[in-house]
Amino acid sequence: MKSLITIMHSLNIARVFLFLGLLCFLSLSIQVSSVPFGYDCAATITYTPNSTYKSNLDILLSVLSSNATFTYGFYNFTVSQDSSNDVVHGLFLCRGDVSANDCQNCVSTASKELVQLCPKQKTAIAYYDDCLLRYSNQYIFSILDQSFPHEMHNPINITNNLDRFRQVLSNIMDDVVTRAVKDQSGKKFATKTANVTAVDELYGLAQCTPDISSKDCNTCLSDAISNLPICCEGKQGGRYLFPSCNVRYELYPFYNNATAPRPLPPVLPPPPSPGIARNTGKGGISSQVLIAIIVLTVVFILLFIIGLCFLISKAKKKYDALQEDTIGNEIATVQSLQYDLITIQVATNNFSEENKIGKGGFGDVYKGTLPNGQDVAVKRLSQNSGQGAEEFKNEVVLVAKLQHRNLVRLLGFCLEGEEKILIYEFVANKSLDYFLFDPEKQKELDWPIRYQIVRGIARGILYLHEDSRLRVIHRDLKTSNILLDEEMNAKVSDFGLARIFGMHQTQADTDRVIGTYGYMSPEYAMHGHFSVKSDVFSFGVIVLEIISGKKNSEFYQSDYADDLLSYAWKLWKDERPLEMMDPTLEGSYSRNEVTRCIHIGLLCVQEDPNTRPSMATVFLMLNSYSVTLSFPQKPAFFARNSIGTPTQKRLELYQSTSMSIPSSVNEVSITELYPR
């Protein structure tokens, strides 16, 4: 018995030391925060060392530091004396879980370091693990600010269960955004933990500055999350930060209210020392020690079984709770997106003709201005659009969750009586076809801009196919559905024909082919089969149209080829691909880039969908010359009748229509749902 007590005592000491070591490591990993991992200085406006602005800035930083222990982790202040030109506004935001002392230490450190990092600039911001500090000569309070973004990722890759990791991460991010927006404490801060596997937990965090509205907080966090796949795909951790909000996830507890670390694996008993194993028999080990080892082994096995049962039970409860939370979140999302009809009527001057900017297949588009001054595109669906109220709301919630810089964002909806209305962001630079097929306007699209547009479209489609929480097939990609913002960045629009796939679904069929001739893949136009490769085909057509400046459905050259795709392929076979290039690109194009884009376009429009690359591969081809491209096969045949117009095949076809007039052309509509 004395030997057993000695062994147990040794085991306990070993476990205590290991546990204390783990606690020390976690404590260090959480507390170290004195080093800024990002900062920005606006170099356009500066001050001199002995100026009034510098004096005001010193006062501001002193006030912020002294108030860090008396607030709930957020404080803003303005110093203005002598002149309005020398006013300085500043604020700090501490992570929602840090103590008052840690908050003050971080703010004090940031106050000293930021003026050294940005010694002359009137506008500056620094990001730390525990806080952010910013100041500016411009008013920055209660305003959504998504300038000065920063991103970081954990260098370690996810090696197993990547799909499961993505799903858990998506659920965590959705949950923390909803709870941060609704945080009753006023901090606009939320964290969540969920199991990825039986032994791995994922930790997530979201936070906004408390001075912005709940709607702006939701917008900011959604934008931050939409950038995580770009910066941090496949990584064990990542964060994306704006001045007004930030999100982060890791496979370890990085905030102070994390759950306690999981128990360490059982420690095997050490071999008995000579002093313990005195009464040895023929086997060289005492019976007491043998009994002790057997007892410990049985105990550890029992503890393992109990622990496993506990984890399974806990996982089931979390799953049930997640299902309930998801339903609640969907209801909350619907409410947050819904606008009153009177608000939309006022915004559009009661749908006046002066505000009308376009017409799509499902209704008219109007420019509107919301009460907060934001310009929007309002899509008023025709009453025969074919959807009920519940279908309409479900679809809105689904599309609203598609947040990416290369997608037009759905801002809300209105559903009153017979009115079904969608509110989208207003994109001022019209659609791609407005520039591309106009002999004068196309001169504004030099090759760098066209190449930027091609890559932007690829990013948007890749997000729909692979990186969003749902796999979305657009089904109506065309140049008129690619909008251009002020900086000529591409934004994919009009999800009126989109279909949602399960994460493991690859294709589907329909008895009613709806789309636009010239962009539809042959398997979809002829047989109603559609998949992600249908969108790839449409993307290939758009790429060839961007390079040539010619529209596929209107291209006709009887002496060489019947359509743009065949024309491009024959030139490629004859080793004369650059002859299809728009002449206005002369002097601005890169021979290698144009040739490679033609090659990629031809790979995308191959007749057999199995030979077309995925959008992930296309994106890689566009961004890396290390990827070797295969030789393209003959593209799909684009049939015409005797007068040169597309022939109608076996199924009912719907030709999407739109108007391009001198304003924003936001071709937006609501998805027509079919049973799956």
**Which residues are documented as binding site?**
379
The per-residue DSSP string of 106-169 comes to HHHHHHHHHHHHSSSEEEEEEE-SSEEEEEESS--TT-----S-EEEE-SSBP-S-HHHHHHHH
SS3 263: coil
Q: Name which of 76, 326, 336 is nearest 182 in CA terms.
A: 336
The letter for the amino acid at 83 is S
Angle at which helix 591-604 crosses helix 564-573, to 10 degrees, equals 120
The residue assigned the tokens 């370890």 is 252
Q: Name which of 217, 189, 432, 158 is nearest 336 in CA terms.
A: 217
Q: What angle do CA 401, 406, 408 make, to 5 degrees?
A: 60
299 CB contacts (<8 Å, ≥6 apart)? none
Of all helices (H) and strands (E), which one includes residue 594? helix 591-604
Distance CA 540, CA 565 (A): 9
417 CB contacts (<8 Å, ≥6 apart)? 341
The per-residue DSSP string of 652-676 comes to -EEE------SS-------PPP---
Residues classed as catalytic: 476
Q: Which two tokens stand for residue 297?
A: 């082994």
Q: Which two tokens stand for residue 252?
A: 């370890």
Distance CA 258, CA 22 (A): 14
The sheet carrying 88-94 orders its strands as: 38-46, 121-127, 131-136, 88-94, 74-79
Of all helices (H) and strands (E), which one includes residue 245? strand 245-250
Angle at which helix 447-462 crosses helix 591-604, to 10 degrees, equals 40
Distance CA 440, CA 371 (A): 37
Q: Name which of 399, 412, 453 is nearest 430 in CA terms.
A: 453
Distance CA 544, CA 604 (A): 10
User: Taking the chain, what is the end-to-end CA distance rounded to the nearest angstrom?
Assistant: 69
Distance CA 476, CA 534 (A): 9
Q: Which residues are annotated as a binding site for ATP?
A: 379
Q: Which two tokens stand for residue 501?
A: 């796939």
DSSP 304: H
How many angstroms separate the Cα of 524 from the Cα of each of 391, 533, 603, 675? 25, 10, 18, 18
Of all helices (H) and strands (E), which one includes residue 586? none
